[in-house]
Amino acid sequence: MSQAPETATNYCYRHPNRQSFVLCQRCGRTICGECQTPGPVGVICPECMKQQRATAPKTKPAILTRMTGSGAPVVTYALIGICVVVFILQSLPGIGGNVTGALQYAGLYSYPELFQPWRMITSIFAHASIIHIALNMYTLWVFGMILEPMLGRVRYLVLFLLSGFAGSLGVFLISDPRVPVIGASGAIFGMMAAFLIIQRRLGGNATQLLILVGINLVIGFLPGLQIAWQAHVGGLVGGAIAGLIFVETRQLSRRGLQIGLLCLLGAVMVAASLWRFFV
């Protein structure tokens, strides 16, 4: 801490009636106790502290760094966030029913008379109850934490959307066209199937996952639970095919083939969703 000899000028530059013998360690001006901010060496006046804060490098909170860093499952967080926001809107009195009605999918929406194909995707983000969304989001988080870093964000999002679309396609092809469905179960079953295929092809132990998928698939067929097993089957098939494409074209030199096969898979599913236009 710097000291100045006692003279008539030893008064705080911000409070001229307060005598002080302490100088700012950056600019050298006299400052009283109220104006002092402890620094690495000595004290700093308010103006120097303001300048120091303005020029200091900006840093993110640790939790934000973990959530948005290069290895963070950002897409998984975003998908969960969208589903949660949609569920909150579905739960609001007065508009909840309209929100659900605008997002849900039924086979009739793929008929020429009521053609609204976007519902095959929007229905993925709506859920019927707190238990429904809690189970789906937990499973999405578990597999997202594994698959997103493994595949990369873009391929992971493609897998989720293709699997979700395949689930809706299963509803269209197998289910009663008058019964609407909602939920991310088809997409999640697709993620599980893709991970199972990747594990098996790379020599990993997938026995426990196979049992988990089997149990969840069987639960969908139990009477009285009102579970759209058709979406589970569709998502399972779509995700398995996508997973096979990913693992067989994982070399950088086959990236073009991978993109082409994924586009072909999407085109085939779109064509299958339009078959009512030709019968």
- The answer to whether residues 52 and 58 touch, using CB atoms and an 8 Å cutoff, is no
Above pLDDT 70, what percent of the chain? 81
**Whether residues 137 and 155 fall in one domain:** yes
Give the residues across from 141 on adjacent strands. Answer: none
| pLDDT in the model for residue 160 | 96
pLDDT-derived band at 168, boundaries 50, 70, 90: very high
- The answer to whether residues 31 and 20 touch, using CB atoms and an 8 Å cutoff, is yes
**pLDDT (tens digit per residue) in 45-80:** 888 888 888 776 655 454 444 444 456 889 999 999
Q: What is the domain range of residue 109?
A: 62-278
- The answer to whether residues 79 and 180 touch, using CB atoms and an 8 Å cutoff, is no
Of 35, 58, 81, the one marking the end of a domain is 58
**pLDDT (tens digit per residue) in 173-207:** 998 899 999 989 899 999 989 988 888 877 766 56
| pLDDT in the model for residue 7 | 55
| pLDDT in the model for residue 116 | 94
**Whether residues 78 and 181 fall in one domain:** yes
Average pLDDT, the chain: 84
- The answer to whether residues 238 and 158 touch, using CB atoms and an 8 Å cutoff, is no
Give the residues across from 44 on adjacent strands. Answer: 37
CA–CA gap between residue 90 and residue 100 (Å, rounded): 6
**Whether residues 54 and 130 fall in one domain:** no
- Give the chain's domain count: 2
pTM for the whole structure: 0.72
Give yes or no for residue 121 having a pLDDT over 50: yes
CA–CA gap between residue 250 and residue 227 (Å, rounded): 35
Q: CATH number, domain at 108?
A: 1.20.1540.10
**Whether residues 94 and 186 fall in one domain:** yes
Residue 43 φ then ψ, to 5°? -125, 165
Give yes or no for residue 212 having a pLDDT over 90: no
Task: Count how many residues are written for the chain.
Answer: 279
Of 33, 58, 83, the one marking the end of a domain is 58
**Whether residues 15 and 118 fall in one domain:** no
Element housing 41 (H / E): none
- The answer to whether residues 162 and 239 touch, using CB atoms and an 8 Å cutoff, is yes
